Amino acid sequence: MPRPILYTTNASPPCRSVLLAAAAVGLELDTREIDLKAKETMKPEFIKLNPQHTIPTLVDEGFVLWDSHAIMGYLVTKYGKSDSLYPKDPQVRAKIDQFLHFETGYLFNTLRTIGRPMFLHGEANVTADKIELLNSTYEILENLLEGRKWMVGDSYTLADISCVSTLSSLTAFRPLDKYPNIQAWLKNCEETLPNYAQINLPGNQIIHQIIGAILKKPL
Ligand X SMILES: N[C@@H](CCC(=O)N[C@@H](CS)C(=O)NCC(=O)O)C(=O)O
The footprint of ligand X (CB under 6 A) covers 12, 14, 36, 41-42, 53-56, 67-69, 104, 108
DSSP string covering 102-146, please? Answer: HIIIIIIHHHHHHHHHHHHH------HHHHHHHHHHHHHHHHHTT
| Residues with Cβ within 8 Å of residue 163, at least 6 apart in sequence | 99, 102, 103, 107, 141, 151
For ligand X, give the closer residue by CB, 8 or 152: 8
CB of 217 to ligand X, least distance (A): 25
For ligand X, give the closer residue by CB, 101 or 178: 101
| Residues with Cβ within 8 Å of residue 44, at least 6 apart in sequence | none
Residue 12 is among the residues annotated as catalytic for this protein? yes
CB of 212 to ligand X, least distance (A): 18
> Radius of gyration (Cα) for the chain, nearest Å?
17
For ligand X, give the closer residue by CB, 13 or 87: 13
CB of 99 to ligand X, least distance (A): 13
